Chains A and B, each alone.
Chain A
Amino acid sequence: DSGVTQTPKHLITATGQRVTLRCSPRSGDLSVYWYQQSLDQGLQFLIQYYNGEERAKGNILERFSAQQFPDLHSELNLSSLELGDSALYFCASSVSRYSPLHFGNGTRLTVT
């Protein structure tokens, strides 16, 4: 058990809808990372927060947004969903910059 909790585990929704994925980091970890994993693209970095502030952005679409709250949990919001957004979404946390990442077990999003 990594100590990182992601909910929900599975999500099935229709195109055009909006969903929110939730992540609780490991106790004591201030950094939260979001990744999208698909078979053809591998694990793609989306965004990173450190202690509530956005630190780095990857290939995150404008339809996607995220935030980290004062209690350090994070949410990833995906809107105007398209079929191609179907993927596994992982959250990871770490103590500090360059520290090893601890991953949750992901949210499997299926857009129909």
Chain B
Amino acid sequence: TQLLEQSPQFLSIQEGENLTVYCNSSSVFSSLQWYRQEPGEGPVLLVTVVTGGEVKKLKRLTFQFGDARKDSSLHITAAQPGDTGLYLCAGARGDKIIFGKGTRLHILP
């Protein structure tokens, strides 16, 4: 059983469209992190959300942490080809940082 479930697994949309991807768990996390990974590279941190209900914006990317701190979402406005990549959410379990399987996003020009 995956501790962090990400959906959808794959998403392919046209440039300019909006999209939302999700990270869900039955467990409470003190914080969740979002990373983006491009082919041939390691994941790169985008944001950390800490407070239940928190919303953080990074240009066209909006991250939200659920009120109960069990889930998070990433919304991208007016997607661009440069947004293509694997989006991973991660949370701490003791000293372990556990990752979801990710959403593979492909933006078509």
How many residue pairs bridge A and B at CB < 8 Å?
58
Given A43-B88, A98-B31, A104-B98 contact (CB < 8 Å): no
CA distance A58 to B31 in the complex (A): 20
B44 touches A33 (CB 8 A): no
Residues of A in contact with B (beta carbons under 8 Å apart): 2, 4, 33, 35, 41-43, 45, 48, 50, 55-56, 58, 90, 92, 97-98, 100-106
A43 touches B45 (CB 8 A): no
For B50-71 the 0/1 string (1 means CB < 8 A from A) is: 0000000000000000000000
Residues of B in contact with A (beta carbons under 8 Å apart): 2, 30-31, 33, 35, 40-45, 48, 88, 90, 92, 94-102
B43 contacts which chain A residues (CB < 8 A)? Answer: 43, 90, 101, 103
CA distance A57 to B84 in the complex (A): 32
A33 touches B40 (CB 8 A): no
B45 contacts which chain A residues (CB < 8 A)? Answer: 100-102
A104 contacts which chain B residues (CB < 8 A)? Answer: 42
Which of A33, A50, A101 has the most chain B CB atoms closer than 10 A to its own CB?
A: A101
A48 touches B42 (CB 8 A): no
B96 touches A106 (CB 8 A): no
Can you list 11 A-B pairs, Cβ within 8 angstroms, ordered by A?
Answer: A41-B101, A42-B100, A50-B95, A55-B95, A56-B96, A92-B42, A98-B31, A101-B33, A101-B35, A105-B40, A106-B42
CA distance A4 to B41 in the complex (A): 12
A100 contacts which chain B residues (CB < 8 A)? Answer: 33, 45, 48
Among the listed A42, A55, A97, A105, which residue makes an inter-chain contact with B99, where contact means beta carbons less than 8 Å apart? Answer: A42
B96 contacts which chain A residues (CB < 8 A)? Answer: 45, 48, 56, 58
CA distance A45 to B42 in the complex (A): 14
A42 touches B101 (CB 8 A): yes
